[in-house]
Amino acid sequence: MRTVGVEEELLIVDESTGRPEPLAGKILEQVSAARRSAGSGPSLTAEFKQEQIELLTEPCTDLGELLDRIRRARSEADAEARAFGARVAALATSPVPVETHTTDSARFSAMMDGYVLTAREQLTCGLHVHVGIESVEEGVAIMDRIRIWLPVLTALSANSPFWNGADSGFASYRTQAWSRWPTAGPQEIFGSAGGYRALIGELLDSGVPLDEGMMYFDVRLSRKHPTIEVRVADVCLEAGDSVVVAGLVRALVETSATDWQLKRLPVPTSAAVLRMAAWRAGRSGINGTLLHPLTNHPEPAGRVILALLDHVRPALAADGDLPSIQAGLERIRERGTGERRQRAVFERTGHLARVAVDAARITTWPRFGPGPY
């Protein structure tokens, strides 16, 4: 069974006002001190902005274990933030306006200088899923075959309806903000590990990306681990939804690896059409239509999600994950994704601050959420 792990980016928000606060440095100093005294600590790290913090899980083979690790890391991060009158909130964008503060590093300073407003406004939080691979060639073959399904994961994780104090009209506005980076989004079929490396070389030669770490593809090879990294999802409001996305990614990886071994060619959808699918997923989430990955025609979101489930059903069954993923998808279908709860809280209270405060409470729930929002 392949390993799976996640990185979750979380906002740090004032526990009363919901306003993002630049506390990551202080929190991580506190965590380091705790590690020195206890010999261990939560897996937390800095991100681009001081108003966010990233948690990392260790690789797991069991999805139940992954859920436990995410919940534990979220709770530990929240406990550290509380020492400063703050909470962590699994929000992919801030509902309230914020002036961001960049983490102090030479690389991040260079990004601020080079990408100006794009970098200054880039306070977005994603869910990145890492799945183990056996070789670089296998990894590239998998990336060529899963690319058409990734917009469905964006829809299933949509959790960013608000931007700069207003309703964006999108279920996932993070996808719009993130797409401002020059390398972000879907890529054409690579064909081989050589094709993948050649593209990266050409992009670096252009002088536009600062370095290889800025290859912000929807899916890429990890530079540090023998994994592929799927980067299309919003951070999910509830930990259980993160595990649903991670389980689907692992099943997509296994299904694609099998197709490669059987010499089944990838579906030759262009990157331009995939951008349409990603835009549609970000716009409506699971609430309207999505482009069907096999036809590129709009169909009801529920039907497209079922197509994804059918595509990976054998892999889910082989790993013993089919019942939990089916149940998770049904929960998401019934109550919606995080964007629905955010809008419901705003409609009920009339205050975007209450949206962020509510999200902080939900982020560390020790159980699955309720029925429909």
- Give the model's pLDDT for residue 367: 65
Interval 80-135: pLDDT, tens: 999 999 999 999 999 999 999 999 999 999 999 999 999 999 999 999 999 999 99
Report the percentage of the chain scoring pLDDT > 90. Answer: 93
* Tokens 């590990």 -> residue: 193
Cα–Cα dist 63/215, whole Å: 28
**H or E element at residue 367:** none
| Mean pLDDT confidence for 11-18 | 96
For the chain, how long is the longest CA-to-CA vector? 57
For residue 206, give both structure tokens: 């252009």
- Give the model's pLDDT for residue 372: 52
Cα–Cα dist 219/130, whole Å: 10
- Give the model's pLDDT for residue 365: 85
Please provide the average confidence, as pLDDT, over all residues in the chain: 95
Cα angle: 138, vertex 249, 95; to 5 degrees: 135
Nearest to 295 by CA among 148, 84, 86: 148
* 75 in Cβ contact with 43 (< 8 Å): no
Q: Which domains does the chain have, with CATH numbers?
A: 4-363 (3.30.590.20)
pTM equals 0.96
Nearest to 96 by CA among 312, 358, 364: 358
- 366 pLDDT band (50/70/90 cuts)? confident
**H or E element at residue 239:** helix 239-261
| Mean pLDDT confidence for 224-239 | 96
Decide if pLDDT at 220 tops 90: yes
Interval 146-194: pLDDT, tens: 999 999 999 999 999 999 999 999 999 999 999 999 999 999 999 999 9
- Give the model's pLDDT for residue 37: 55
For residue 163, give both structure tokens: 């931007």
Cα–Cα dist 329/325, whole Å: 6
Interval 242-298: pLDDT, tens: 999 999 999 999 999 999 999 999 999 999 999 999 999 999 999 999 999 999 999
Reduced to 3 states (helix: H, G, I; strand: E, B; else coil), residue 88 is strand
CA 235 to chain centre: 5
Bridge partners (DSSP) of residue 127 are 8, 233
- 40 pLDDT band (50/70/90 cuts)? low
Report the percentage of the chain scoring pLDDT > 70. Answer: 95
- Give the model's pLDDT for residue 31: 85
